[in-house]
């Protein structure tokens, strides 16, 4: 396993604001949750979600009546997921379990009808070695007629070249229940050789009177993957691509949009 920055390692403002940021992203852009719930309904369970975070999608799938397992490396994120499970109705809670583990090396002792990696979780893997390791684990855990579904952003060449970009973005203020949170992406550097972008995020919590309560900074790195590179990775890992979309509504591939992949285990794995 290649060491990776752990963006959600500490139980701080980043983890605390995750659900609020996800809700904001769904309102401003495209909500991916209904798509993954729809895929679970189409293919049935059990479902495995890698990078489940606070359990937003896993919980929604369990609420749809489907047995779901969520795996994540972050204990603080999983603690929030477990809190949601504990607060759910008994039938939903029984269909839902969360496991701490690394998506590049896990063995759950069971097979799944559907495996998903939503919200660009695959891009948290910063090397091809780790990407192939995840796909190999998934193939071992999928039923023969199972499906793998994941999404990435489709990189625009002008957005993944140097130089360093300062002051990339500031999110709208978020309500943390008695305090406000400002999230800024202060700096972004692109490494075209390794296809890794690295951003410095600052989280500033303020009281109602405007006084600063807490300031935290974290490093977030993602690896971008070109469309045909992703197709080849899937084929090398023993998957046959069934569909590639540019959004969560089945649109054909399009430059600079989304990469939404649907794949099934094939008969051969290339070394």
pLDDT digits 0-9 by tens, 141-169? 999 999 999 999 999 998 899 877 777 78
- Asked whether residue 8 is domain-assigned, the answer is no
169 lies in the same domain as 242: no
Full residue range of the structural domain in which residue 215 is found:
157-223
- Asked whether residue 95 is domain-assigned, the answer is yes
pLDDT for residue 269? 59
* Residue 249 φ then ψ, to 5°: -125, 10
Query: Which residues fall within 8 angstroms of residue 132, CB to CB, at 6 or more apart?
Result: 233, 236, 237
pLDDT for residue 6? 62
Q: Name residues of the chain where pLDDT drops below 70.
A: 1-6, 268-271
Looking at the structure of the chain, the number of domains it has is 2
Contact 265, 113 (CB under 8 A): no
pLDDT for residue 49? 98
- Asked whether residue 3 is domain-assigned, the answer is no
pLDDT for residue 165? 76
219 lies in the same domain as 229: no
Q: Please give the full DSSP string across 197-243, using - where no structure is assigned.
A: EEEEEEEEEE-TTS-EEEEEEEEEEEE---HHHHHHHHHHTTEEEEE
240 lies in the same domain as 169: no
- Nearest-angstrom CA–CA distance, 123 and 73: 14
- Asked whether residue 5 is domain-assigned, the answer is no
Query: Which residues fall within 8 angstroms of residue 170, CB to CB, at 6 or more apart?
Result: 182, 183, 184, 185
Query: Which residues fall within 8 angstroms of residue 70, CB to CB, at 6 or more apart?
Result: 48, 49, 52, 55, 58, 81, 96, 97, 98, 99
pLDDT for residue 270? 56
Contact 223, 194 (CB under 8 A): yes
- Asked whether residue 22 is domain-assigned, the answer is yes
Cis peptide bond upstream of 44, omega within 30: no
Q: Look-up: residue for tokens 């659900």?
A: 19
- Asked whether residue 195 is domain-assigned, the answer is yes
Q: Look-up: residue for tokens 């300031």?
A: 215
194 lies in the same domain as 239: no
């Amino acid at each position: 396993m290649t060491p990776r920055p752990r963006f959600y390692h500490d139980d701080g403002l980043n983890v605390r604001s995750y659900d609020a940021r996800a809700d904001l992203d769904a309102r401003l852009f495209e909500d991916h949750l209904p798509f993954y719930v729809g895929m679970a309904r189409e293919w049935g369970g059990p479902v495995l979600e890698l990078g489940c975070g606070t359990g937003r999608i896993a919980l929604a799938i369990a609420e749809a009546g489907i047995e779901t397992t969520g795996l994540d490396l972050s204990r603080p994120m999983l603690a929030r997921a477990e809190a949601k499970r504990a607060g759910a109705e008994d039938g939903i809670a029984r269909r839902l379990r969360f496991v701490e583990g690394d998506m590049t090396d896990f063995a759950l002792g069971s097979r799944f009808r559907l495996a998903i990696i939503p919200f660009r979780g695959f891009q948290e893997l910063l090397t091809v070695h780790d990407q192939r390791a995840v796909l190999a684990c998934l193939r071992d855990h999928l039923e023969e007629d199972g499906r793998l579904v994941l999404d990435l952003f489709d990189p625009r060449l002008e957005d993944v070249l140097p130089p360093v970009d300062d002051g990339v973005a500031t999110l709208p203020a978020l309500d943390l229940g008695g305090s406000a949170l400002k999230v800024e992406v202060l700096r972004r550097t692109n490494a075209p050789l390794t296809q890794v972008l690295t951003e410095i995020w600052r989280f500033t919590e303020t009281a109602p009177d405007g006084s600063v309560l807490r300031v935290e900074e974290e490093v977030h790195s993602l690896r971008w993957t070109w469309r045909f590179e992703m197709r080849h990775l899937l084929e090398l890992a023993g998957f046959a691509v069934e569909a590639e979309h540019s959004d969560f509504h089945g649109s054909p591939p399009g430059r600079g949009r989304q990469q939404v992949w649907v794949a099934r285990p094939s008969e051969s794995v290339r070394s």
